Amino acid sequence: MTLSLLVVDDDATVRETLVDFFAMGGHTARAASTATEGRRLAAEHAPDVVLVDLHLPDANGTRLIEALRADDAETAIIVLTGYADVRSAVHAMQQGASDVLEKPVDLTVLAAAVQRAAEGGRLRREVAVLRARDRVHGRPDEGVGVAALAPTFEQLIDLAARNADAPVLLQGETGTGKGFVARTIHERSARGASPFVEINAASLSATFFESELFGHERGAFTDARQAKRGLLEVAGDGTVFLDEVAELAPEVQPRLLTVLEDRGFRRLGGTTTLRSSARVIVATHQPLAEAVEQRRFRADLFYRLQVLTLTLPPLRARPDEILPLAAAFLPRDRWLTAAAERALVEYGWPGNIRELKNTLWRAAILAGSGAIDSSHLGLPGTMPAAPAARSQGAHAPRTLEEAEREAIRVALRATGSNRSQTAKVLGIARSTLLEKLKRYGLD
């Protein structure tokens, strides 16, 4: 792909070297020595990528970045600086830089960074077009549910799926559906026939996380009695979904960065460099930029992960999606009364989609059959309902076995008889579910 580049640097040697380097690669490159000249050339030639030195004679480089993004919000920018530090890197990143490289820069590293930045810029332009088109058609720019995806977000998911090599960063409160979106992107991509594997960075110690992600050799640690393949190997050409990436241990972050940059990694205790062809999708409920500022997360890793960022708004910010989502979660033989619908819409849903789903499954069990009223929902301000009575023997309480059988039946319907999902919904092991299915004659 032939690119148009602009180098803004007050060092004549740097300007000449970079212009010649990119010209040799078949690209078009121009140079400016000041922020004023750089902004003018950017407006005249609309480069794919602008390389900006943070220390310019007439302005701070971050001011130029801010001006360039004001002129064109999707401009791809790489910062080159001999004075790299966390504070200036974070500031440049907040202004929209896609990468920060310290001088003297390795030209091979720079070339790869330029390609990534150009690809990221192209993706952002496509996102901007989708959002503009959506606003023209009178649709709000909203997030994603599970059954009721707003058109724009559907298109953003398709965009992420088409660009099957680009890392994706999913941001949003707990329960907003980040895992569902990650799996949807995978399934719609060219990688959909390959494995989708996931791991939570907050649930494991650094050693066990590394063992799960990278694998280990026999004797790598006390309990490593035999070699084990990590998820990067298991995924093959598929997708690795890394949840709660902001909790990633500091000692693991450089290893993940290496995988993203050159696809290489080693098992714990290993000496052989292996290659990963898997795509990486990450998710977090806390802003990564804050974690970078607090020095809990590497800035360079953040740059690699934010090629395509999708932010999922909380459910309370999209009340129009609550009832369509509720309808999707309910078994086909259940429905909501007007009072129940009103209670669902008026509730704040701090647990977002996950809380809505669990609330409705519980309500379906309590209601027994037919209509679900507000009392079955158990939301603040409503009276929780007692479990539904048996159809024979009016108002007689159900036995524990009957309640359990009904709960399994409802969960089976809600998951389309998927045994693994049903076990997950009920919070029991799959083997336990299979035993109960046989006991209750539901298999």
Q: Token pair of 370, please? A: 């037919």
Residue 245: pLDDT over 60: yes
Please tell me whether residues 88 and 230 are part of one structural domain.
Answer: no
- Top pLDDT among 405 and 21 is at 21
pLDDT at 141: 35
- Which of 282, 298, 313 finishes a domain? 313
Whole-number Å distance between alpha carbons of 376 and 367:
6
Residue 131: inside a domain, yes or no? no
pLDDT in tens, 307-321: 788 888 888 888 888
pLDDT at 397: 43
pLDDT in tens, 373-383: 888 888 876 55
Helices and strands (DSSP H and E) totals, the chain: 19, 16
Please tell me whether residues 299 and 339 are part of one structural domain.
Answer: no
Residue 133: inside a domain, yes or no? no
pLDDT in tens, 336-350: 999 999 999 989 888
pTM of the entire predicted model:
0.58
pLDDT at 16: 92
Please, what is the average pLDDT of the chain? 81
- Top pLDDT among 386 and 413 is at 413
Residue 256: pLDDT over 80: yes
**Structural domain that includes position 388:** 316-439
Residue 251: inside a domain, yes or no? yes
Residue type, 417: S
pLDDT at 248: 92
pLDDT in tens, 21-79: 998 988 889 999 999 999 999 888 888 899 999 888 998 888 898 888 888 877 889 98
Residue 16: inside a domain, yes or no? yes
pLDDT at 434: 84
pLDDT at 186: 92
Whole-number Å distance between alpha carbons of 294 and 385:
46
Please tell me whether residues 328 and 286 are part of one structural domain.
Answer: no
CATH number at residue 46: 3.40.50.2300
pLDDT at 284: 93
- Top pLDDT among 123 and 322 is at 322
Q: Token pair of 227, please? A: 């070699």
Q: Token pair of 156, please? A: 């953003």
Alpha carbon separation from 50 to 35, 60, 68, 275, 441 (Å, rounded): 12, 15, 9, 31, 66
pLDDT at 443: 72
- Which of 101, 124, 147 finishes a domain? 124
Residue 134: pLDDT over 50: no
- Which of 124, 156, 189 finishes a domain? 124
> How would residue 425 be classed by pLDDT, with cut points 50, 70 and 90?
low
Residue with tokens 């919000």: 73
